[in-house]
Every structure is written in structure tokens, then in C-alpha cells.
Amino acid sequence: MKFASILSHLPHKTAYAHCDIPCGIYDPHASQMAAHTIIRMTQFLEEIKRDNETKVEHDIARVTHIKEEHGQLVEEELETLQNDYFKEEHYKAHKNLKDLLAKGVSLSVKTRQSIDMKAAGELLEIVMQIAEIFYKTKNVPSKRVKSTYPTELDIVVPA
Amino acid sequence: MIISLFKTSGHSMEPEITNGSFFIASGVPYKFTNPKIGDLIIFKNQNKTIVKKIIKIEKKNYVIAGQNLSDSMKFEPITKKDILGKVIFNF
């Protein structure tokens, strides 16, 4: 178990070290794109042909690196929404929001640790639900549409 | 505040304190000494505990900023009474 994991079980407070300008620019789009990328990278990893050992190692390293980066991006984007955008009234109006954010971060870690299409699909579903809540807090109607990405899965956009 | 464990949220103090890392802060050091340039400190701003670095001292006012240059110049200088504690150990 990592030392940080041990510390996280101890009572602690949060100290913020965010960008200090209250820019007001928040968007759940980046987390959805990143979740799609994780799915795509997971597809690549499942489909890699093992006919050339050197090339296979090279391809796995590159694809895994991208999957790792986008898992981190999902975590950061969700934490920005959690820490900087969502307010107490949003949590009161959407009782599942806190759980969705926690589950999203947890799944972003799980998809980095493994080649798990089920977890990647669940992550996309979670970030889409968070996106739907985000647009509700903005009083902007939203809808799920089929993305134009190779994943051919949905994405939440303003209606 | 005698001593507390904190988890960092955000990137403005990287590379010294990274997002998600932990640090220990204490108010005790400033009972005996004054904050100095380079100290990593925590203070309250709009009900949030913020971690920053002292980069300048002007007439007992402390100018603070993040480690990343893009994050500097965002807070007004603070006084010693605004400072909750000093980062004494980060993991």
C-alpha cells in the first residue's frame, strides 16, 4: 500500500492550491472526451496483434501512456468541477452528485490500473451523468447524442 | 492550530507540493518567529484553506503566490494574523 493511501485514511483537511483567478470557465466536455479516449485506448490494447514482439512492446507502451494521461485528465477535470464549480446548493439539489464524482475518480484510477472495458464504459456513463447535472445547474437543457468518435458511444451536449 | 494533516487539491504549488499529496502544517513556529520569504504557509480565504508561498515581505504584509508563475499575483498581501500555519513537512 502506498504511503499516500495510508495517509488518506487519517483525519485530514483539504488545502487548496488551485489557479486563483475565479475565471468561471467550467465545462464537462473535456472529461467526456477523455473517457472516450480511455475506451478507445482500451480497445487498442485488446486488439493489438502480437506478430512482431518489438513493435508490440512499443505500441503497448504508447497506448498505455495515452490511457494513463487521459485517466489523469478525467480525475483532474472532475476535481476542478468538484472543488471550484459545484456548490452546496448543487449537492442539495442532486443528492447523487457527490457519489458520482467520487465514483468517477475511482473509476479513472481503475481504468489506469487495468485493461478493463467494463470499467471504461462505466466511467463514461458516470461522467455523462455529471455532465447532465452540470447543464441542469446552468439551466441549460442537455441531451445524449451519438458521438462522432470511433467509440460510437454517446456524449452529453447542450440541447 | 497546533498541527494538522492536509491533502493538497490543485497544481499551483507544483513541483514543491503536488496535487493530491499530503503535508503537515503547524501554527506553532509562528508563535516564536516571524514568517520569512520562502515559507510555505496556509491561510483562510473565502472559507477555504489555501496553501501558498511567501515571496515578499512589505511592511509586515506578506505577499504570497503559487509556485507556478502563471498562478502568481492573485491574492492581496496578508498579515501575520491571517496565517494559520507553516508547512513543516510534505510527503
Is position A20 within any domain? no
Instruction: Answer whether B22 sits within 8 Å of A12, measured CB to CB.
Output: yes
Residue range B12-39: mean pLDDT, rounded: 91
Whole-complex ipTM? 0.85
Q: Which domains does chain B have, with CATH numbers?
A: 4-90 (2.10.109.10)
Q: Residue A13: its pLDDT value, please?
A: 87
Q: What's A60's domain CATH number?
A: 1.20.120.400
Q: Return the sign of the alpha-carbon dihedral for residues A6, A7, A11, A17.
A: negative
| Residue B75 pLDDT level (bands cut at 50, 70, 90) | confident
Residue A8 confidence (pLDDT): 74
Residue pair A45/A60 in contact (Cβ under 8 Å)? The answer is: yes
- What's residue B60's pLDDT? 87
For A31, the grid coordinates are 472529461
Q: Do A3 and B50 touch (CB under 8 A)?
A: no
Confirm whether A146 is domain-assigned: yes
What residues contact B73, with CB distance under 8 A and at least 6 apart?
B65
- Residue with C-alpha cell 486488439? A47
Flag whether pLDDT at B78 surpasses 80. yes
Domain count, chain A: 1
- Span B53-67, mean pLDDT? 88
Contact B41, B16 (CB under 8 A): no
Helix locations, A18-116, DSSP H: 29-47, 53-80, 88-93, 97-113
Comparing CA positions, the residue from A147, A155, A133, A126 lying closest to residue A85 is A133
Closest-CA residue of B relative to A6 is B22
* pLDDT, tens digit (0-9, with 9 covering 90-100), for A15-51: 888 655 556 778 999 999 999 999 999 999 999 888 8
A92 Cβ contact list (under 8 Å, min separation 6)? none
For residue A148, tell me if it sits in a domain. yes
Q: For residue B55, which residues of chain A lie inside 8 Å, CB to CB?
A: none
Is residue A3 in some structural domain? no
Per-residue pLDDT band for B71 (boundaries 50, 70, 90) equals very low
Q: Across residues B1-22, what is the average pLDDT?
A: 87
The closest alpha carbon to A29, from A69, A72, A73, A62, belongs to A73
Is A13 among the domain residues? no
Average pLDDT of chain A, as a whole number: 91
Nearest to B22 by CA among B9, B39, B36: B9
Residues in B whose CB is inside 8 Å of some CB of A read 4-14, 17, 19-23, 25, 42, 48-52, 66, 70-71, 74-75, 91
Residue B73 has pLDDT above 50, yes or no: no
What integer pLDDT is reported at residue A83 of this predicted model?
Answer: 76
Q: Are A36 and A155 in contact (CB under 8 A)?
A: yes
Low-confidence residues in chain A, pLDDT < 50: 1
The whole domain housing A143 covers 27-158
Does residue B53 carry a pLDDT above 70?
yes
DSSP state of B10: S
